Amino acid sequence: MSETKFTSGTWAIEYFSSGNKIRVYSEDLTKTLHENEKFFGVKLTQEEMANANLIAAAPDLYESCESALILLSKMGMESSDEYQAMLYATKKARGES
């Protein structure tokens, strides 16, 4: 599999008590990966919060796809729809599609 260029490791999510800010950051706290902040008094929508959750889960999802690709390849299933979908997703995550 190709080398990734995105921030490795677990990503964490921080919800601010004001309800108007959410931040996704690297677990070692060295990088902010996504931040969404509204004007004071304006709350984040459920969709914005769900998007942040998806962003935070991205490294785990990528790693799972990579593992599944290896397993499906060992099973000779490279031509299956599932293999091709995961291959496309991992290439998209690496900016190759």
* Pick from 53, 47, 90, 55: nearest CA to 69: 90
* Start-end of H helices in 1-97: 46-74, 81-93
Ranges of each domain in the chain: 11-93
Q: Which two tokens stand for residue 69?
A: 């690709």
Spatial contact of 90 and 46, defined as CB atoms under 8 Å apart: no
- Per-residue pLDDT tens over the stretch 37-89: 888 778 999 999 999 999 999 999 999 999 999 999 999 999 999 999 999 99
Q: Which two tokens stand for residue 68?
A: 């599944």
Distance separating alpha carbons of residues 97 and 87, to the nearest angstrom? 10
The yes-or-no verdict on residue 1 having pLDDT over 90 is no
* Pick from 58, 53, 43, 60: nearest CA to 93: 58
Distance separating alpha carbons of residues 75 and 68, to the nearest angstrom? 10
